[in-house]
Amino acid sequence: MEFKLMPGGTLSGEVRVPGDKSISHRSIMLGALAEGTTRVSGFLEGEDALATVAAFRAMGVRIEGPEDGEVEIHGVGLHGLKAPSHALDVGNSGTTIRLLSGLLAGQGFDVELTGDVSLQKRPMGRVMDPLARMGARISGTDGKPPLKIAGGQALKGIHYDLPMASAQVKSCVLLAGLYAEGRTSVTEPAPTRDHTERMLRGFGYDVKNDNGVISLAGGGCLQGAEIDVPADISSAAFFLVAASIAPGSDLLLTHVGINPTRIGVINILTLMGADIQLKHEREVGGEPVADIRVRYAPLKGIDIPEDQVPLAIDEFPALFIAAACAEGRTVLRGAEELRVKESDRIAAMAEGLTTLGVKNEVLDDGIIIEGGTLGGGVIHTYHDHRIAMAFAIAALRAEQEIRVLDCDHVATSFPGFDALARGLGLQVSALAD
């Protein structure tokens, strides 16, 4: 599938984007390992989250749904998973494979984790190394999937200093710690999303955070819970940027998760001059939520504060479009993590911006973008859903038609993106390749 986008447009209306992908993944994982039943509402029915559902079904967990965002998980307890009859194929989901690596390291059976062509290019050494230190036996192909995990290993708690800020690596180590003897702790160089810690507490598991050292003891148990998944700020980010760059826009995004470890996109856009207001702030199921009103405002280029980078790591493709539409220069440093996402997002976005006539300079750990006029052209997404959606919203300020190729992966995180965007004012058509 490809997107064909006509230039221009104004966004208006009220919308609730799909549920948070990070929370949806974790609700299935912890619900499966809990005692009793877990009920989830607002679940993201995207391909990535559905891959997690399929993996736990293959290990003997009865999961009803999802249907209209409702899921019921009949937990089997920490030691109730069964050996799957085949390799677990998690598709394009890096979250699934990295978090499952931690959970499966403590099981009594052998298992293989694999995924699509894109996932098989992604480095897994960052989870393999700490798991090996805990006593796991895990191997890959040059440090990449497929991963083979040997069962029956006695794990021991460790303290691990994360070499770079990564919620996936932190979560992997903590989830392995559920099965380890003693205490497992992690120190991160900068705060990352804390959905795993919050949700573990929601399932009744004691997780401590002492001055940035996050820890838990093995040998406990999880109790079934009720989970209301807020709208995903990573999905909302595309519309936050879209309304900010399209003159005349006025948009309300409802029930959006505003976890303080995830609001870098709001902070950065505000520094650029965006008109963003948080309304009806509240807490739902342990997660802060708000309605977000965003209206068009002229943006200016900035030096993005490095302390905001981990808080916006998934939102940078959208933010690069904001930078391209801003007056002046935007500089991003300290974002090496972007090179090992579904694609090398720095290289892929730089290539697309160049296609549209936007001057940029690629750095080892970031990019410099000169704001200016956007033209048109054909964009290659490298099978990355966020690259596809970023260049879709770029059409709002483009002077010519944009074609975005290989958009099938948009469904991994945002099923129905094109229809929703069209309803709000984006001139997008989804075409067969």
Return the active site residues: 314
Residue 256 token pair: 């959006």
Indicate the helix (H) or strand (E) that contains 397: none
CA–CA dist 232, 20 (Å, integer): 4
Instruction: List C-alpha distances in Å: 111 to 89, 91, 138, 267, 310.
Output: 11, 16, 10, 42, 31
Q: Number of C-alpha atoms within 13 angstroms, CB side, residue 262? A: 25
Mapping DSSP to helix (H, G, I), strand (E, B) and coil, where does residue 355 land?
helix
Spell out where 235-358 has E strands: 250-257, 275-284, 287-295, 329-332
CA–CA dist 27, 224 (Å, integer): 10
Long-range contacts (CB closer than 8 Å, 24 or more residues apart) made by 193-197: 193/22, 193/167, 193/259, 193/261, 193/262, 194/167, 194/259, 194/261, 195/20, 195/22, 195/23, 195/26, 195/167, 195/259, 195/287, 196/26, 196/99, 196/167, 196/170, 196/171
CA–CA dist 106, 83 (Å, integer): 12
Residue 157 token pair: 């708690």
CA–CA dist 239, 251 (Å, integer): 8
Q: What are phi and psi of 259, to 5 degrees?
A: -50, 130
